[in-house]
Amino acid sequence: MTKNNFNTIEYANGKLIILDQTRLPFEEYYIETDELETIAEAIEKLRVRGAPAIGIVAAYAMAISLKNKGDNPTQRFNKWLNRLAATRPTAVNLFWALNEMKKVFEKNISSPNLFDILLGKAEEIHDNDIEMCNKIGQNGLSIFEKPLNVLTHCNTGKLATGGEGTALNVIKTAFYAGKVKFVYVDETRPLLQGSRLTAFELEKAGIPFAIITDSTAAMLMQQGKVGVVITGADRIAVNGDTANKIGTYNLAALCKLHKIPFFIAAPMSTVDFNCREGKEITIEFRKGEEITSVRGTPVTKSEYKVYSPAFDVTPAEFISGIITDVKLFTPPFDFISR
244 forms beta bridges with 312
234 is annotated as an active-site residue = yes
Q: Quick check: 2 and 207 in contact, CB under 8 A?
A: no
Q: Strands across the sheet with 15-19, in order? A: 9-12, 15-19, 30-33
Runs of H (alpha helix) within the chain:
36-44, 51-64, 73-85, 92-107, 114-139, 167-176, 193, 199-205, 217-222, 248-258, 289-292
| CA–CA dist 24, 38 (Å, integer) | 19
Strands 271-272 and 328-329: unpaired
Among the listed residues 129, 186, 234, 325, the single catalytic one is 234
- Closest by CA position to 313, among listed 264, 258, 256: 264
Query: At residue 244, what are phi and psi to the nearest 5 degrees?
Result: -150, 180
Q: Quick check: 159 and 8 in contact, CB under 8 A?
A: yes
> Strand, helix or coil at 180?
strand
| CA–CA dist 110, 102 (Å, integer) | 14
Q: Which residues are catalytic?
A: 234
